[in-house]
Amino acid sequence: MKRWLVTLVALAWGWALPATAQISMVVNFSAGGPSDIVARLMQNDMAAALGQPVVVRNVTGAGGTIGTAEVARARPDGQTILLSPIGPIAIQPHFRSNLSYKLENLAAICQVADSPVIMMTPKNSGLRRVADVIARAKAENGGMPFASTGAGSIPHISMVALMRAANIQMNHVPFRGSGEVMLAFQQGQLQ
């Protein structure tokens, strides 16, 4: 099973922080998703350890690249850090030629969590196994939608790999993050 690595990335620590400085932890996917949950679980302990408030901000879009770009452009004073899945750091630079950030402007600090990629279907869909999904996708000939957290994200690439392996086509529906995917799923907007 592929793992989705959540990596804490920050700018190089260039200047000493004033005692009253606020640290901005940018999460590059929407609220309610795995990265956001991890950030909020870490927030208070980080603030206590660093002696400064830590504010979590969700800056979403374009498969996590908008928030990543904001952190890459931030002043390298250690007050802006990024909590990101691996996609915007290791995949998007190879997937998109027009990124507005360079990896040289980011410094990895540590991995803080990992999360599996999960395929889910509504209970009433009749899809219980991967074989059921493949059969329906073949029957719908490219019309069956699947959701992901954006083009080039681990969930998107995982489904592309499944489509290639099974020789099927599906319709990609990108969202800004896992929280939005789960909400749409619960509201019956997704298969």
User: What domains are defined for the chain?
Assistant: 3-116 (3.40.190.150), 123-186 (3.40.190.10)
The pTM (predicted TM-score) of the whole model is 0.77
* Confidence at 9, pLDDT banded by 50, 70, 90: very low
Residue 144: predicted pLDDT: 94
Mean pLDDT, the chain, whole residue set: 87
Could you give the dihedral angle defined by the CA atoms of residues 150, 191, 189 and 152, in that order, rounded to the nearest 10 degrees?
0
- What pLDDT is attached to residue 20? 61
Q: Residues 11-28: pLDDT tens digits? A: 334 445 555 689 999 999
Q: What are phi and psi of 176, to 5 degrees?
A: -80, -10
Looking at per-residue pLDDT, the higher value among 163 and 77 belongs to 163
pLDDT in tens, 82-110: 999 988 999 888 888 889 999 999 999 99
22 touches 78 (CB < 8 A): no
Mean pLDDT of 114-131: 90
**Mean pLDDT over residues 142-155, rounded?**
90
